Amino acid sequence: MIPMNFLRSLSRAALVALSLAFAAAAPVARAQLTIEIVGGTGTAIPIAVSGFEGESAWPLGISGVVAADLGRSGLFRNVDAGGVVPRPARAEDVKPDFWRARGADAVVVGSMQAAADGRVEVRYALVDVVRGGTLIATQFVVTREQFRATAHRIADEVYEKLIGHPGVFSTRIAYIAKQGSRYQLVVADADGAEPQTVVSAGEPLLSPRWSPDGTRIAYVSLEQKKPVVYVQNLATGGRTAVAAFRGSNSAPAFSPDGRKLAVTLTRDGGSQLYLMNADGTDLRRILSSPSIDTEAWFMPDGRSLLFTSDRGGSPQIYRVGVDGGAVERITFDGSYNVAPRALPDGKGMVYVRRDGGRYQVATLDFATRQTQVLTAGPLDESPSLAPNGQLVLYANDSGGRGILNAVSIDGRVKQRIVSPALDVREPAWGPLAR
């Protein structure tokens, strides 16, 4: 009953908490972003996450993070689980009538116990108290440092079991934070925790793009007084200028296998599409046109690219094979359609369109050519899809400062992520944790 009831709300899934705590990045002021639900609140699965037995032995527990993840998703509503004696710790301890009376449809219980080797054994269960039945019962043995990751993993599992899509609580996001004249590429957990500055520069940074395995980020920097494409290894911090040719180098996009990088170069005249190995070798040109060709984005099968071109007289989105060849026009409606990002299932895309002077994030279904506008504008940009395809992060401006926003793929739930002190833009959602 739970899953069926909420299939309708699948698209509101993954409204992942973006209470971005920009704390760790040293030069960035400690400033907490908070989430405002702007619209689309509706039915959510009422769930009770009971405090885990034995949890109080550690300063940072797990159940609280699980409850927070689920609650911020917009698809769950937390039901008070306190004051229950004895506290349920296993699936068989859960009395469905009791929890239904509290208004819960599902209950998470668990326990934490020190293991002999110094690690901690974490058990948890998800119980459907409407139909009855244990949906999940599992355990992990983890270190103290893995508590948060374990909590996100539990939230992912609960989310997937009840919603039907992979959860994205264990993923990471990247974004550009501007403070004064400094630009920082920041990587943080999807709930905003543990932000880390990957690059700090005195010139603009833009276009962060994750490698599919989450180990590298490609981005554009103006540090050399011109756009140069870098690929940075997140583990080592080392970076390579993979495209620093004469002219401008921009718009990097990783292939789905992580081996190739599509870029826009002007080295041969005009902004044109090229393909190279992700280390910058084996450069070859994809297309040759007298027009602007840029913003390449790989389709999930890796065989073709979406891109933006003004070859038709105005910026529109097209598709071409990675080896060039025939070009297919994708957008026809309106005079400005840019920034294509393919949906994970390859059946459509998210993009930015201009309508009457307003720049809005929209989706397009390739088969039906149907468009749905997700946002109101006026200056929405840089959409980035969650890896489960259910949520779009994007940037716009509020009071002269850049802020991030999230909208569900059906446009029904909108969240605004605000901070009193930060100027943020260019969000990029990382891949699913492996």
Binding to other proteins (CB under 8 A) within 224-243 occurs at: 224-228, 230, 240-243
Residues 340, 351 contacting (CB under 8 angstroms): yes
Q: Of 242, 233, 234, which is closest to residue 264 (Cα–Cα)?
A: 242
Give 95 or 226: the residue with its C-beta nearer to other proteins: 226
Determine if 109 is a binding residue for other proteins (CB under 8 A): no
| 43 forms part of the interface with other proteins (CB under 8 A) | no
Name which of residues 330 to 359 contact other proteins (CB under 8 A).
332-336, 338-339, 343, 345, 347-348, 352, 354, 356-357, 359
**Which range touches other proteins (CB under 8 A), out of 67-75, 77-85, 203-211, 319-327?**
203-211
3-class secondary-structure state, position 351 = strand
Interface with other proteins in residues 251-270 (CB under 8 A): 251, 264, 266-270
Binding to other proteins by CB under 8 A, coded x per residue (else -) over 401-430, reads --------xxx--------------x----
Of 113, 146, 200, 291, the one binding other proteins by CB under 8 A: 291
DSSP 180-209: TTEEEEEEEETTS-S-EEEEEESS-EEEEE
Q: Give the strand pairing for 216-221 and 205-210.
A: antiparallel
CA trace torsion 185, 187, 188, 192 (10° rounding):
30
Site track 313-332 with other proteins (rule: CB under 8 A), x = hit: xxxx------------x--x
What's phi and psi for 180, nearest 5 deg?
A: 60, -125
DSSP 69-116: HHHHTSSEEEPP--S-SSPP-SGGG--HHHHHHTT-SEEEEEEEEE-T
Q: Residue 248, interface with other proteins (CB under 8 A)?
A: yes
Considering only residues 53 through 82, tell me which ones interact with other proteins, judged by CB under 8 A: none
CA 175 to each of CA 192, 251, 270, 434: distance values in angstroms, whole numbers, following the listed order: 11, 15, 28, 21
Stretch that binds other proteins, among 15-23, 91-99, 115-123, 217-225 (CB under 8 A): 217-225
For other proteins, the closer CB: 160 or 397: 397
Least distance to other proteins from the beta carbon of 268, Å?
Answer: 5
**Contact pattern from residue 115 through residue 154 relative to other proteins, giving x for each residue in contact according to CB under 8 A and a dash for the rest:** ----------------------------------------
Query: CB-hemisphere CA count at 13 Å for 143?
Result: 1
Nearest to other proteins of 170, 294 (CB atom): 294
Cβ atoms of 351 and 365 closer than 8 Å: no
Closest approach, Cβ 313 to other proteins, in A, equals 6
Q: In the sheet that 260-265 helps form, which strands lie side by side, from edge to edge?
A: 249-254, 260-265, 272-277, 284-285
**157 phi/psi in degrees, rounded to 5:** -70, -40
Q: Note whether 420 and 398 are within 8 A (CB).
A: no
Residue 350: burial class (beta carbons within 10 Å; 0-12, 13-18, 19+): buried
Q: Which of 180, 301, 326, 368 is the binder for other proteins (CB under 8 A)?
A: 368
* Cα–Cα nearest to 18, from 4, 8, 32: 32
User: Of residues 40, 204, 302, 324, which one binds other proteins by CB under 8 A?
Assistant: 204
Number of residues that bind other proteins (CB under 8 A): 94
**Nearest distance in Å: CB 282, other proteins:** 7
Token pair for residue 290? 């007298």
Stretch that binds other proteins, among 17-25, 47-55, 140-148, 221-229 (CB under 8 A): 221-229
Position among 46, 61, 74, 389 found at the interface with other proteins (CB under 8 A): 389
Q: Which residue, 290, 302, 345, 336, is CA-closest to 317?
A: 336
Single residue of 111, 179, 363, 375 touching other proteins by CB under 8 A: 363
Nearer to other proteins, 189 or 426 (CB): 426
